[in-house]
A and B are shown apart, each in its own frame.
Chain A
Amino acid sequence: MLLLLYSLNPMTDALLKFFTLQDANVRYVVLGTVLLAISSAVVGCFTFLKKKSLAGDAVAHAVLPGICLAFLLAGNKNPWALLAGSFITGWLSLVCIDFITSKTKLKEDTAIGLVLSIFFGVGILLLTAIQHGGNAEQAGLEGFIFGKAAALIGADLVLFMVLSALLLCTVALFFKELTLIAFDEQYAKVIGFPVRWLELLLTTLTVLAVVVGIQAVGVVLMAAMLITPAAAARFWTDKLQVMVVLAALLGALAAVGGCLVSYLHTNMPTGAWIVFLVSLLAVFSFLFAPKKGLIARHYKQKQHKLRFAEENILKTFYHLGEKQKDFFHSYTLNEIVEKRKFESTYLQKGLERLKKQGYVVQQKVGANPAQYLWQFTTEGYERGLRVTKLHRLWEIYLTKYLRIAPDHVHEDAETMEHIITPELEKTLETWLNYPKNDPHNTEIPYR
């Protein structure tokens, strides 16, 4: 035990050091990446909702030639020059996509594919040329491809902090406008919003977010920073404001995580880890989010199936009771199966659940469980009656109002009897005016 604590000690030490941000370098890198992650996540929400996710990817790749050209012109890695260069080509790529989609017959996906690969290709070409050009300043330029968060220090950081703050403020100021052009652009035009300017603003914000973000994660992975937090957040909420905040939080969380990993293991790339973590969060959301997550939906479907099974069993009890003219008569499993062909585990498990819920009771007669007797409780009787009633009412509705032949209505009613809500039940009853018999001339029970 002591040995274990001892071996953990350097680890906890490192964690403590990381989270208290004692080290100035750590402080810079964490602060920088968190800011980058937040600003790209917030802008990304609108890109995502405008269904421009792929365009974001194109911008990210198109930034590379800009950086290289700026380097060639300036002769060094002046951050302002690189920023301006990347902004210009990133912007140009969106203009190209727009131009191609509006002036040719090519669709948007083709245009994005074309622009992305051409711009990135040119970027790689220029980068290779620079690397063989003999300028000693070029070292580190390739960091823009996959990102180099550790380079986020000093003057660069201040510049990027200012840009991030600017970005967030702009989104906050134009929240109402950006929401409307993402939801219903035509309406925005009609009520006199300067839609062209707002589109331009969103484009500019997207490019800016990319330009700021590539420092940390690089052009190849940048689209993930833009889109993934938004996509993940969408699973948890139906409110745009909440979604934006959540996306920012998820982005920030991934950023801190990525920094931590590369702090603990110095040969791990920060940017790639941030993207990996944010993707992990997205997969988690996709699976586990309440209501919209895959598992929640699967669980709900399963619950429905169980309920259908239970109601079918109760209905069978009711039918048996009708035959016996005694609803509280008890039956063996065999007698139930004779009435309706249930699979035996399906029936037994269903009965056990109903017993737990208090809809049926079990009498243990003899040693053989097959001989046990099962019987309605009052609650079970009422529920069985209701399902039977809904089944028969729905059959009437189908034959009378949809003119479906009486011998075709049973199957449909088998499902609808479980789905009809109490409100619909009321409407159906009053609308059909409490009919006495169903199309097969069996009595419809009312309480």
Chain B
Amino acid sequence: MITQIAQPIVEVHDLTVSYHRKPVLWGVDLTLPQGALVGVMGPNGAGKSTLIKAIMGLLPLQSGFVKLFDQDLNQVRSRVSYVPQRESVDWDFPVSVFDVVLMGRYGKLGLFQRPRQSDKEIALDSLRKVGMEGFQNRQISQLSGGQQQRVFLARALAQKADLYFMDEPFTGVDAATENAIVELLREIKEQGKTVIVVHHDLQTAKEYFDWIVFLNLHLVASGKTEDVFTAELLHETYGGKLSVLSELATLLRKNEYPSRE
């Protein structure tokens, strides 16, 4: 059950992505509506993060294309924000919380240009929104997991974007942080902006998101939560491996076949 919509804010067309020749996402055709809070769900290794990274241009595409706001990513970068997985950086790096949040403004600044007063105010404001005011001078290694996640979120907020991609923002955070983040995501949504979140907890998914994407190496389902969250689709996503698909992928890698001629 894949719902396609007329004027999507994200359009993914025939997307195939490979790591070292091994396809990890096959032929995804996906459209997402504006103003939705979207959960990207699926078992471990289903390609959830891969999908987000491919959309953000961080991975080479084997085939297909991606359009955001009906345009090429390069034309709309300033309207798109990304929260990478928390583990993707070294938290022992010698910068302060404020420095990291200020990085959210770098995209708006030219090369050589130093952050202006307005950028600093936006950064402070973003810190306030995630409840981290007072932490601005802390070195980032002194933060707890939940606080680190909030800092990353503040950096994304500082970009003042219209479309947010977040890779597992709820991993390793405490309940209070999770609630605060969800509250914040809803606020962003209320402003007509779109948030796309990689998530793995089925328990909370139904409550958090109004649109759900089920992935398991291919697109299983995409649609309004109440339409998609069915026993049948859940089973299709989580029940058993797609053995033919994954064996074929391993073959492609081992024998150096091209996945597209």
Contact = CB atoms under 8 A, between A and B. Distances in A.
Interface of A: 49, 51, 173-174, 176-177, 179-180, 182-184, 186-193, 234, 237-240, 243
A243 B94 contact: yes
B111 A179 contact: no
Interface residues of B, number: 31
Given A49-B93, A189-B58, A190-B56, A176 B106 contact: yes
Nearest to A241: B94
Nearest to B85: A186
Contacts of A192: 74, 77-78, 107
Contacts of A237: 94
Contacts, number: 70
Contacts of B88: 184, 186
Contacts of A51: 90
**Which residue of A186, A189, A234 has the most chain B CB atoms within 10 A of its CB atom?**
A186
**Which residue of A173, A174, A191 has the most chain B CB atoms within 10 A of its CB atom?**
A191
B106 A193 contact: yes
Contact of B112 (A174, A187, A238): A174
Given A184-B88, A184-B103, A190 B94 contact: no
B82 A190 contact: yes
B94 A234 contact: yes
Given A190-B58, A243-B94, A183 B106 contact: no
18 contacts: A174-B112, A180-B103, A183-B95, A184-B84, A184-B88, A187-B103, A187-B155, A189-B56, A190-B56, A190-B80, A190-B82, A192-B77, A238-B141, A239-B95, A239-B96, A240-B93, A240-B94, A243-B94
Contacts of B225: none
B244 interface: no
Contacts of B100: 183
A182 B106 CA distance: 14
A240 B107 contact: no
A177 B94 CA distance: 15
B93 A183 contact: yes
A187 B94 contact: no
B57 A190 contact: yes
Nearest to A176: B106
A47 to B, nearest CB: 14
